[in-house]
Amino acid sequence: MKKDIRSLSLKDLCSFFESNNYPAFRGNQVYNWLWNKSCFSFDQMTNISLELREVLKKDFVINHIKIDNIQKSSDGTIKNAVTLFDNLLVESVLIPVKNRTTACISSQVGCSLDCEFCATSQLKRMRNLNPDEIFDQASTINIQSKLYYNRPISNIVFMGMGEPLLNYKNLILGIDKITSKEGLGISPKRITVSTSGISKLIIKMADNNVKFNLAVSLHSAIEETRNKIMPFSKKFPLDELLDAVKYWYKKTRKIVTYEYIVWKEINDDMNHISALVQFCKASPSKVNLIEYNKTENPFFIAADDKIISNYISELEKNRIPVTIRKSRGKDIDAACGQLANKLLN
């Protein structure tokens, strides 16, 4: 099999050209086509000679993603059905609001976790996405945002399919490409990685001095409840998660965002509200209350508005910042927790 040229570093590319008796600067040119211009074909590299393009075709391929289907929501959200080079499928989402566009990116094909309320968890994890596949999703949505909304993407969230931290190496490499001047040049301050709470990898991120933001899918600060709705969390107890978050803040000085859905008869009482308040007070944090998006699991029913108001009241009373995130793209199964390749199954 030919090697994917995007697996080569800039140094590797320059060395390849030198070893084939071509000027090393050709490596810079090709690298610019691959990342800055998101080029998917050697034939598009117009400042490279035909002879040299044939050399590249002989030794390399560009395993780019393909958008097989686009669904557009009534609220302007766009969901992409993304086919990878090996014909596996993921989904990515463009989320427009008045002054910005957010790209929601997948990190794995399927998911190895077992969050009961999430449609993606019903899909078997097939493999991790490569750095270029992560980059391609962002690049594609950036092009779509310019086409449909006359502006580039302003934010990126890793809240699509899969657990980002279980694809740690490729995640970091993908973000490096997205943030580099040779790539999309997006500030890491506008990127958020959402994890279900893999404590040791939160610590690793802090030690690696990453510049992006951290969100944790929490949903309950009571161990028994969290283990019930997110069974994998038995391996990552709340006290370990809290220690990891404290370490994250100590090293990065960035506050964590806790993502939190409130369900009827699951976490809609004062015990759960009080537990969340105490958990948040242990380390600087803010809470993002997320509107529940129905999946095929009848066990989960959105809590009444009164309960949401109680959460907000108690959090604000304790000076913990809280926002409500309204769902976008529900009518095309593009909202949080709904990505499951539904159209294509």
CA distance linking residue 28 with residue 253, whole number of Å: 36
Give the active site residue among 14, 104, 118, 336: 336
Could you give the CA distance from residue 220 to residue 287 in angstroms, rounded to a whole number?
12
* 263 secondary structure, DSSP code: B
Q: What residue type is 121 in one-letter code?
A: S
Distance CA 214, CA 244 (A): 12
Say which amino acid occupies 69. N
State how far the Cα of 212 lies from the Cα of 159, in Å rounded to an integer: 14
Q: Hey, CA dihedral for 47, 53, 59, 64, is it positive or negative?
A: positive
Catalytic site residue 91? Answer: yes
Q: Which of 91, 133, 163, 259 is catalytic?
A: 91
Which residues of the chain form beta strands (DSSP E)? Answer: 3-4, 60-61, 66-72, 78-83, 89-96, 101-104, 108-109, 127-128, 155-158, 191-195, 213-217, 256-260, 285-290, 322-325
Whole-angstrom Cα distance, residue 87 to residue 317? 51
Burial of 219 (0-12, 13-18, 19+ CB in 10 A): buried
Q: φ and ψ at 287, to 5 degrees?
A: -120, 135
User: Distance (Å, rounded) from C-alpha 174 to C-alpha 85?
Assistant: 17
Six token digits for residue 153: 């993407």
DSSP 321: -
According to DSSP, the residues that pair with 127 across neighbouring strands are 109
280 is catalytic: no
Please report, as a single letter, which amino acid is at residue 169.
K
Q: Which residues are catalytic?
A: 91, 336
